[in-house]
DNA sequence: CTGCCATTTTACCGGC
DNA sequence: GCCGGTAAAATGGCAG
């Protein structure tokens, strides 16, 4: 009996803590979006910026590997590698 | 020349600010994951918890959408909305 | 060597089949757009039409989801589902 | 009176034609997904395949431009261009 | 040309 | 630890 009530409280606590953190997370996502908007307003290409961020996050070895693979595939189907 | 250098500083600043915020965001995601893990350890079903969170987030939006929908149907059959 | 050539043929085949299908898909999207345009020309509100389509697509799914949700809530408070 | 009935039939016709086409479109999307799955099963990297498809769809001039921009940005923030 | 909506891509989580 | 499916974010395209 009491178990159910207590479990309910615990569950609600979990739920509310998660909701609070998700709000924080959303707030940070907003800030990031604002920075992209500002960068765009100053003439930067946000797609290229995202690419830069992705590369910096990746293991350099993996980057090289993917690049090689792309070249390999392009050659394999007879596309100029550029 | 100088243009490039200055733009480089600005760009680097944008990139680093974004990376910093993304780290924060990832940290919060970790905290959320920990709460789920703790809840799971205490016997709660995380799928159920995720559903509850989803509903609590969606419901107000859903209500608005249903209202809008009703109006749209009334339009569709040629009934005045007011 | 030969491996690369053969793999190249296979890869090119995949790529071209996908491109062909994507063209078909785009063609169908065009037809859909034409129907909307025709409907609009005949005085129908395309926004309303899109809402109707959305609802007709979502409703069965939505019903199932609500049922599932009810079960989940019963679990959450420790009630047997059956 | 009759107008409403007729309009209703016309609207339903539009809706059903669109739904039919959307089904076809979804069917084609399934086929594309299957090809990717098959390619993956044969050891191809689908992410790289998608990149190939994107490049082939883009104007070659735009591709070169984006590449140059990426290099420029990398230099500007002091990243090795690779 | 701006906002909106569909599609696509990415990250995440649970199962094997 | 990978892999498949699922939900969130982002990109692109279209109507207005």
Question: Over 80: is that where the pLDDT of B81 sits?
Answer: no
Residues lower than pLDDT 50 in chain C: none
Assess contact for A77 and C12: CB atoms under 8 A. Answer: yes
CA distance D64 to D79: 19
Flag if A22 and B36 touch (Cβ within 8 Å). no
Protein-contacted positions of strand E (CB under 7 Å): 5-14
Pairwise pLDDT comparison (B34 vs A4), residue with the higher score: B34
CA distance D73 to D79: 8
Q: What are the phi and psi torsion angles at C43 (to 5°)?
A: 90, 5
CA distance B53 to B47: 10
Contacting residues of A for B3, CB less than 8 Å apart: none
| Confidence at residue B3, expressed as pLDDT on a 0 to 100 scale | 64
| Confidence at residue B66, expressed as pLDDT on a 0 to 100 scale | 85
Closest residue to E14 measured CA to C1′ = B47
Q: Tell me the DSSP string of C21-62.
A: HHHHHHHHHHHHHHHHHHHHHTT--HHHHHHHHHHHHHHHHH
| Confidence at residue B64, expressed as pLDDT on a 0 to 100 scale | 83
Residues 6 or more apart in contact with residue A74 via CB below 8 angstroms = A80, A81, D52, D55
3-state SS, residue B81: coil
pLDDT in tens, A9-52: 999 999 999 999 999 999 999 999 999 999 999 999 999 999 99
pLDDT bin (cut points 50, 70, 90) of residue D20 is: very high
| Confidence at residue C3, expressed as pLDDT on a 0 to 100 scale | 64
CA distance A80 to A59: 27
Assess contact for A10 and B42: CB atoms under 8 A. Answer: yes
pLDDT in tens, A58-72: 999 999 999 999 999
Share the mean pLDDT of chain B: 89
Closest residue to F10 measured CA to C1′ = A47
Average the pLDDT over D53-64 and give the result.
94
pLDDT bin (cut points 50, 70, 90) of residue D82 is: low
| Confidence at residue A81, expressed as pLDDT on a 0 to 100 scale | 75
Share the mean pLDDT of chain A: 92
What would the 3-class secondary structure string for chain A be?
CHHHHHHHHHHHHHHHHHHHHHHHHHHHHHHHHHHHHHHHHCCCCHHHHHHHHHHHHCCHHHHHHHHHHHHHHHHHCCCCCC
Within 30-69 of chain C, which residues have Cβ less than 7 Å from strand F?
33, 36-37, 40, 46-47
Flag if D32 and C38 touch (Cβ within 8 Å). no
Identify the contact set of chain C against chain D, taking CB-CB distances under 8 A.
Answer: 10-11, 14-15, 17-19, 21-22, 24-25, 28-29, 31-32, 35-36, 38-39, 42, 44, 49, 52-53, 56
Is the alpha carbon torsion for A82, B4, B7, B13 positive or negative? positive
Distance of residue C41 Cα from the nearest chain B Cα, in angstroms: 16
pLDDT in tens, A69-80: 999 999 999 987
Alpha-carbon distance values, A62 to A55, B16, D67, D77 (Å):
9, 22, 19, 21
Angle subtended by helix axes D60-76 and B2-41, to nearest 10 = 90
Assess contact for C7 and A69: CB atoms under 8 A. Answer: no
Residues 6 or more apart in contact with residue B72 via CB below 8 angstroms = C47, C48, C51, C52
CA distance C40 to C34: 10
Query: Which residue, among B69, D10, B72, D13, has the nearest Cα to C45 in the 3D structure?
Result: B72
pLDDT bin (cut points 50, 70, 90) of residue D80 is: confident
Query: Which residue, among C41, B76, B5, C18, has the nearest Cα to D53 in the 3D structure?
Result: C18
CA distance B63 to B59: 6
Query: Which residue, among B59, B79, B58, B57, has the nearest Cα to B70 in the 3D structure?
Result: B79
Pairwise pLDDT comparison (B80 vs B57), residue with the higher score: B57
Q: How far apart are the first and last CA of chain D?
A: 72
Pairwise pLDDT comparison (B5 vs B37), residue with the higher score: B37
Percentage with pLDDT > 90 across chain B: 57
């Amino acid at each position: 009996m009491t178990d159910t009530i207590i479990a309910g409280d615990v569950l609600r606590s979990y739920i509310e803590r998660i909701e609070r953190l998700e709000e924080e997370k959303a707030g940070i996502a907003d800030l990031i979006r604002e920075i992209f908007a500002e960068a765009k307003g100053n003439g930067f290409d946000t797609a290229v910026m995202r690419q830069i961020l992705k590369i910096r996050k990746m293991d350099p070895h993996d980057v090289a590997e993917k690049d090689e693979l792309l070249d390999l595939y392009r050659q394999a189907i007879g596309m100029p590698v550029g």
